[in-house]
Amino acid sequence: MLKRTRSVFLLAPLFVAAAVVSSPMAHAQDKAITTFKVHHVIGLQAIQHNTKGQVTVSKDALTFTSGPTKSDLSIAGIEDVQTGADSQRIIGGTLGALTMFAPYGSGRFLSLFRSKIDTLTIEYRDPNGGLHGAIFTLPQGQASMLKSQLVAAGAKASPVPAPEAAKQ
């Protein structure tokens, strides 16, 4: 009886580990993100400035969707993709403007609290050959993943220049 109890306790962790490995969550983490939640700052035609939506990369197009509004960019028309890091105020909009009137300069102090974001800038040509640019902001760490998906789909991207301090 004692040997049977020991073997159950020894095998139980193996069954738990097998269940964790075969769970859908483990496989979901292995897949790359294909849809990104973004904030369109400016640049896409037929999309208003400062619109929140989703960007999806397929083999031949980058698609921005915000509710019923949709805009497609041809991957072949993308001439450059650049990423960057930035920050934005945590308290924004009307409430952020009203905090400026708080007494003793506390509104200015509140504007110092910032959250980090990534920026993605795309230079593209429309079907008529006109050069345009679009700027998106994403949560921190996602712009490089989106850029790599665009480059894998065939978009052109210039190499990142080395900083001056690294050259010296």
pLDDT per residue over 38-70, tens digit each? Answer: 999 999 988 999 999 999 999 899 999 999 999
Q: Which residue has the higher pLDDT, 133 or 167?
A: 133
Instruction: Return the CATH number of the domain spanning residue range 32-159.
Output: 2.30.29.30
Nearest to 119 by CA among 168, 86, 72, 75: 86
Contacts for 20 with CB less than 8 Å, ≥ 6 apart: 26
Rounded to an integer, the average pLDDT of 130-150 is 94
Asked whether the whole model's pTM tops 0.75, one would answer no
pLDDT of residue 29: 39
- How many helices (H) and strands (E) the chain has is answered by 6, 7
Give the mean pLDDT of the chain.
78
pLDDT of residue 149: 94
Please check the confidence at residue 73 and state whether its pLDDT lies above 60. yes
- Listed by start position, the domains of the chain span 1-29, 32-159
